[in-house]
Chain A
Amino acid sequence: MEIILAFVIGGLYAAGIYMLLRRSLVKLLIGLALLAHAANLLVFTAAGLTRARPPVISPGAAALQIPVSDPLPQALVLTAIVIGVGVIAFALALAFRVYRVVGEDDLDRMKSTDT
């Protein structure tokens, strides 16, 4: 399972970086979202995947029976997803405003503040 996820994460990173390098504003945002998803999956996978072993002490037992699935990375990913959704929502609104103000979708034409 880790192998499959490793390929999925690699693919997401590649697609995200490719989209970031496009000139269109909307594709830039898609790229950012893909990067965020890749990072989330990476956090999820890096901590190790354990199937069907909830971290709950079963009735009658005195302690947890190793191995259990670690709940912390899932909590981290959940937090990161929520943050990511908020940030992408803001970025979409910003992109809309940028399009209205600048009248362009082409990042190469937004150079008036560059040095």
Chain B
Amino acid sequence: MVNHGLVLPILVPLATALAALFSFKSVRAQRWINLGGAAALMGVSIWLLTSVWRNGIQVEQVGGWPAPFGITLVADSFTAIMVTLAGIIGLAGAIYSIVTIDTYRESYGYYPLYHFLLMGVCGAFLTGDLFNLYVWFEVMLIASFVLLALGGERGQMEGAIKYVTLNLVSSALFLAAVGLLYGLAGTLNMADLAFKFGRMSAAQPPGVMTTLAMLFLIAFGIKAAIFPLFFWLPASYHTPPVAVSAVFAGLLTKVGVYALIRVFTLLFTYNVAYTHYIILILAGLTMVTGVFGAMAQNEIRRVLSFHIISQIGYMIMGLALFTPLALAGSVFYIAHHIIVKANLFLISGIVERLSGSSELKKMGGLYRQQPVLSLLFLIPALSLAGLPPLSGFFAKLSLAQAGLATGEYGIVAVALGVSLLTLFSMMKIWNEAFWKPLHNPEPGPSNPAPSSPPARSFLWLLPVLLLATLTLVIGFGAGGVFMLAQRAGEELMNPDGYIQAVLGSYR
């Protein structure tokens, strides 16, 4: 079904960023534009989700050129869910930025970059064409490069060099894979590719296809931070301001996961037993290395960064199992993870500010000072570990069920063991930062005095409250959310609907 509103999740952040650029001199005006733009994006994304839910897959051929020739935007249920999550995290991050980002960064274009980042993310979700996906990746990356480096502190600079290098290598690989794919198939429209591969893959030399699949796996795997390719993430995610970290942690790696799921459900399904088995092994290794890395860390944001990696394993585990239930579990997991992980980063920022340090050893006593904040930390932390009735439990339950149904007992055992270790890691943060009494009260040079909370501390807690409420809603209303995820999973497993919606009259 044609829907011209599909350009809105791209146009709204673009307009916001431009408006913020035009009021570059006035930080006050930029703050209001930032808030308004983020709220508008969230409104648009929820509208998109409801219209996809009511009317099925939505398509827009930009400029009126028919499908395999022009620029295609597609929104199926998976895309709509991802865009909605981008809208939610965008709003939470925008509110948090107003309170926590310093005026130096604000006056050097923080807000325009933030919205360009959101534009890149939404564009990557919506596009129906591989080359456009490359372009949106670059839009997203260049905005994230500057956001990561803005401020110019030593840690940021070192983190940025690693982040930039590995992401550029990944982009070069992605571009090479796109070129080879075009040479093989003569089109880059994903629906057209799926249609052609669906008919010809038996006759094609499978070696070339497998090479292409592995190139895409490596290119997107670097961006998604899967097992042997994740080293840029823990080296950089703890360096920028917390609002930036939280949005990166929530959205950026998930764009890589989104691309992996898209490509490995639409294009490379000719030999699932081989390609998806490799992904399954990588999923297990990603979970295990991520959680062990986290156990070795003693800084709150470093612990959380390693947990991103281990959670990525769960998402691609659903892709690797490749059944409708497993993919629904993946989609549910992504939705749960984005909200919970962004929230944990936001809380880590509050904790670091209140205790004046990012080292867990120097923290303590926050439960006595901030009982509400402690409760708000426990909700996402226990949800991440997968305790019922929070959102993470249902996400892990559906993945475990899918694993048992396909007979992959090994990966289910790994997943359950890793979630136990996640609980251990979350309890470490709880014990160190919140529960144990603060035992070094005298401030000194090595031990700076805790800074007071900023003036508008209500605004500070607002995004945390919003995301914690959403975690509870997903947990207690898991049936409704899971229906949505199930529909996304079924659409991903049967690409005919996607192909039909995009190519429609052309075929």
A interface list, Cβ under 8 A from B: 20, 25, 28, 32, 35-36, 38-40, 42-48, 72-73, 76, 79-80, 83, 86-87, 90-91, 94-95, 97-98, 101-102, 107, 110-115
Contact = CB atoms under 8 A, between A and B. Distances in A.
10 contacts: A25-B161, A32-B172, A44-B179, A46-B183, A76-B178, A79-B135, A98-B158, A101-B153, A113-B158, A115-B293
Interface in B65-116: none
Contact of B157 (A79, A97, A115): A97
B149 interface: yes
Contact of A28 (B146, B165, B236): B165
A39 B182 contact: no
A43 B172 CA distance: 11
A87 B171 CA distance: 11
Given A28-B165, A91-B164, A112 B154 contact: yes
A39 B135 CA distance: 15
B234 A48 contact: no
SS class, residues of chain A in contact with chain B: helix
Contacts of A32: 165, 168-169, 172
Sorting the interface of chain B by its residue count into under 10, 10 to 19, 20 to 34 or 35 or more gives 35 or more
Interface in B124-161: 131, 134-135, 138, 141-142, 145-146, 149, 152-155, 157-161
Nearest to B146: A90
B168 A87 contact: yes
A42 B180 contact: yes
Given A35-B172, A46-B183, 5 more contacts: A20-B169, A28-B161, A43-B175, A91-B164, A114-B235
A48 B171 CA distance: 22
Nearest to B179: A43
Nearest to A70: B186
B238 interface: yes
B176 interface: yes
Given A83-B138, A115-B293, A20 B165 contact: yes
B182 to A, nearest CB: 5
A72 B175 CA distance: 14
A56 to B, nearest CB: 17
B157 A102 contact: yes
Contacts of B296: 115
B239 interface: yes
B154 A76 contact: no
B149 A94 contact: yes
A90 B161 contact: no
B235 A36 contact: no
B297 interface: yes
A94 B297 CA distance: 28
B161 A95 contact: yes
A82 to B, nearest CB: 10
In the A-B complex, the 8 residue pairs with the closest CB atoms? A43-B179, A46-B183, A39-B175, A110-B158, A35-B172, A39-B176, A39-B172, A98-B157
